[in-house]
Amino acid sequence: MVSTFPNPAVDLSRIRLSIRSLQPQLIEWRRRLHQQPELGFQEKLTAEFVSHKLQEWGIEHQTGIAQTGIVATIKGNKLSTTKVLAIRADMDALPIQELNEVPYRSQHDGVMHACGHDGHTAIALGTAYYLNQHREDFAGAVKMIFQPAEEGPGGAKPMIETGVLKNPDVDAIIGLHLWNNLPLGTVGVRSGALMAAVESFECKILGKGGHGAMPHQTIDSVVVAAQIVNALQTIVARNVNPIDSAVVTVGELHAGTRRNVIADTARMSGTVRYFNPAFEGFFKQRIEQIVRGICQSYGASYDLEYSSLYPPVINDAGMAELVRSVAEDVIETPVGIVPECQTMGGEDMSFFLQEVPGCYFFLGSANPDKDLAYPHHHPRFDFDETALAMGVEIFVRCVEKFFNY
């Protein structure tokens, strides 16, 4: 996937000197965070580190928001304006045992920053540091949101519920994800849907067990489950407009204990993804219809649990254009802007984007020449740290441009 995109030469000279000079600190902070990864809502050391830095720089902030979240406010001195731009970074790691043999490898057994959120936190810190040092360069206020638990169960929603977008009220929000599906020197940004809604289901089929040679005395949960798995595939194939993208995946199917025993129970679980917000509620209803109908026709019963986890990530056209124009300046080459960067992966940045217009974008971070191209959530995931200063530069320029609009 990576090699299908052009790999423009990465020229750090486009990044202003004062941000380039932050690069050693950005790397140091990122590696420090990488060594002490923490799972969602357990980001204690991470939050302490962030808070300590903000305090050291004299940046006003609140800790303990939605357990481990932090919000810092940096007011510009340039002109009096009431506009507020939020910048969001997620801080949590994953339950993965790191296989990288690097000096900064995870020191927490079974936990790893395998998605790059250590980099997001470092970029947000660098942005806060720079903006605080250059308050005279921008008007308005910037709210830095350090969010817990993006990987689940989700920290964005509880942060919004505590009022992080209020007082002062946030007008717009931006955020980025370091992205190993794109090479270093590219930015994936687009208006509209960027990432998919995430829903999930768990289903138990309750049949009647018996002897494998006497099926007429049973209700075979394996046969019922097999029909359901097949029928679920018809939702995308036959009920969704082919112009729309959607996925129904059954990722788990468990039944039975022995070859000649008919299983009384089968369990399956799966995930549903889609871009179009109009599908909200649709898959839940359709899956329930299919499970109910098939179980009924075979005399089985069922227990279905359906959860809507994250809505789709939908970018505002104006904010996407702001990020695109800034990114084009930073990476210097229009070939590095990748609008075809949609993914069916999900992100709880979507909750912020439901509240205020904004733009979430991907910052290319893969570098196959340095063996830094493993996919996200892989035990060997790592990214090219050159992207860190690029991330800060894009955020800083977005702030300056946003308040000059």
Q: Which residues contact Ni ion by CB under 5 A?
A: 115
CB-based contacts of 48, cutoff 8 Å, min separation 6: none
Q: Name which of 115 and 236 has its Cβ closer to Ni ion.
A: 115
Q: Shortest gap between Cβ of 183 and Ni ion (angstroms)?
A: 18
Q: Which of 118, 150, 220, 348 is catalytic?
A: 150
Q: Name which of 245 and 343 has its Cβ closer to Ni ion.
A: 343
Q: Name which of 151 and 264 has its Cβ closer to Ni ion.
A: 151
Task: Quickly tell me which residue has 């289903």 as its tokens.
Answer: 203
Q: Name which of 352 and 402 has its Cβ closer to Ni ion.
A: 352
**CA 357, 364, 188, 349 torsion: positive or negative?**
negative
Q: Shortest gap between Cβ of 134 and Ni ion (angstroms)?
A: 29
Which residue has the CB atom at the shortest distance from Ni ion? Answer: 115
- Residue 171 annotated in active site: no
Q: Shortest gap between Cβ of 347 and Ni ion (angstroms)?
A: 7
Q: Shortest gap between Cβ of 151 and Ni ion (angstroms)?
A: 7
According to DSSP, the β-strands at 187-188 and 141-147 are: unpaired
Using an 8 Å Cβ cutoff, are 197 and 274 in contact?
yes
Using an 8 Å Cβ cutoff, are 392 and 119 in contact?
no
Q: Which of 38, 92, 220, 385 is catalytic?
A: 92
Using an 8 Å Cβ cutoff, are 349 and 156 in contact?
yes
Reported in sequence order, the residue ranges of 229-375 that DSSP labels E, i.e. its strands, are 246-255, 261-262, 265-274, 301-310, 313-315, 358-366
According to DSSP, the β-strands at 141-147 and 84-90 are: parallel
Question: Among 174, 152, 161, which residue's Cα sits nearest to residue 65?
Answer: 161
Q: Name which of 115 and 228 has its Cβ closer to Ni ion.
A: 115
Q: Shortest gap between Cβ of 212 and Ni ion (angstroms)?
A: 45
According to DSSP, the β-strands at 172-183 and 265-274 are: unpaired
Structure tokens at 29: 């902070």
**CA 214, 215, 217, 218 torsion: positive or negative?**
positive
- Residue 92 annotated in active site: yes
Residues marked active site are found at: 92, 150
